[in-house]
Structure formats: structure tokens, C-alpha cells
Amino acid sequence: MTSLARRITALNHNLFMCARWLVFIIALMMLWEVLSRYFLEHPTSWAPEFATLIFGPFFLLGGPYLLHLGGHVAVDVLSARAQGRLATGLRLAGLVLAAAFGIILLWFSLPLVLQSYQYGETSYSAWNPVLWPAKAFLPLSALLLVLQAIADAIDIFAEEIHA
């Protein structure tokens, strides 16, 4: 089981490492848009919208690995002082809440992506891209969040067994 947990964490780590580069792509697109608009006097119809569409994956793919790192905002008044089994219990409770959030998000976002795909939903802008690929990152990241919560719980139980 711990090897499965390590593989899930490695997957989320690798996705995080790839997704972090999207911010540079966004910055370059916005730079190109500014140069095109103000210096070449020929603005793009796609750069601002494409930057918005790839900000979703940038933001969402970091969440599962951030859960593993413990980097989410937390009120840790109690957990900072907790020790032993109470600390372990609080960590597990946090993972259960994260998994519940991920399951709810997956449950409600997946039908929206499928509907977007079936209808061929577009943005109705001048560029008019298809939206389902960008929307698909929401249920994907929700699933990855649930898997990471399970992987971290497996690690906690493995630590307890070996302690």
C-alpha cells in the first residue's frame, strides 16, 4: 500500500512541477498581447482568453501536491499544540475533510464537463475556443486531491504501525 501512496504522491509532484511553468507561459502571452496592442497596434483576439483558460490548470494541479506538503491555509491553533495520537487524529480528520471536499467537487463538476463536451460549448468570443478541455481540469484535480488524501492517510497509518 505504501508503494501505491508513493506513486500517487509522485504523480501529483510531477503534475505540480509541470503546472508551475504555466505561469511563465501566461506571462509571456500577456507580454505579447501588450506588445501587439500598444506597439504593433494589432491586438490579439486569443491571448487574454487563452491565459485565463490555462490559469485554471495552473491553479488546480498544484492543490493535490500542496495537500501533501501541508501548504494549504489552516487554522492550527489546536493541531500546533497537539502531540501523539491527538496530532495523528487531527491530521487524519483534515485528510477526511479534504477527501470529502474532493468527492463533492468531483460529483458536481464531472457532469458539467461532460455536458460541455456533448454540446461543444465554446466561449462565444472572437476567438471562440472549445471550453471542455479547460473545464476537465476541475474534476481531474478533484480526483487527484482525493487520491492524495488517501495516499497521505496510508502514510500516516504506515508511520503508526512502524512506530
d(CA 104, CA 135): 16
What angle do the packed helices 47-60 and 137-162 form, to 10 degrees?
A: 20
Query: Residue range 80-86: average pLDDT?
Result: 80
Domain ranges of the chain: 2-162
Digit-coded pLDDT (tens) for 94-115: 999 999 999 999 999 999 999 9
Please tell me the predicted confidence (pLDDT) of residue 75: 66
Digit-coded pLDDT (tens) for 32-44: 999 999 999 999 9
Digit-coded pLDDT (tens) for 110-159: 999 999 999 999 998 889 999 999 999 999 999 999 999 999 999 998 88
